Structure 1
Amino acid sequence: MSHEQNESVIEALHECMVACNHCYDACLKEEDMNMMEECIRLDRECADICAYLEQAISRETPFISELAQVCATICEACGSECKKHQHEHCQKCAEACSKCAEACRKLTM
């Protein structure tokens, strides 16, 4: 993988992690937190795997493809859940998750 490809994936991972952390925090402040339970859980899962994969790529782990597959799956799940909610933070998170899943899929080919 070229340095430029690495940089674009790392950027997508970082943006997704930030969006998920923001969404997580904002969801905790919503009136009906029970309705946001799955969104909150997936925000955490997604932010954590994005941060981990970002670190793993930077240290050139031999498991990039496998980790990228897991990350793409979690990003897609988080994005799908966030799309269900009309909150701006959820919509922005869904967009970041979709972009990140697409970037991760390129690493699995």
Structure 2
Amino acid sequence: MLGDMMGMMGKLKETQAKIEETKNRLNTVMVEETSPNGEISVTMTANREIKSINISDELLEDKEQLEDFLILTLNKVIEKATKVQEAELAAVAKEGMPNIPGLDLFK
């Protein structure tokens, strides 16, 4: 029994290291979103760090429209990045979890 516990602890430490590696790798995975009118584009990492925002000159003349499209586009790119991050981390966590009958955390 003690050997099983030690084995599980080792596996959990290995999984934790893989999760950290995945988080670091997600800093290099880029996600992009463009506003419906095509005048704003936002690029961010899968860890939700904004890398660039491009705004067309025409949109700079209408502050209210700029704000609306910026909020919309940022929310969409954050949603995309979150989905990528969650999927990647869930895959690593599922791979590292011990097989406990009746406990299916990641369906």
Shorter-normalised TM range? 0.3 to 0.5
TM-score in terms of structure 1 length? 0.34
- TM-score (norm. length: structure 2): 0.35
Higher strand share: 2
Q: Which is greater in Rg?
A: 2
Which has the larger helix fraction? 1
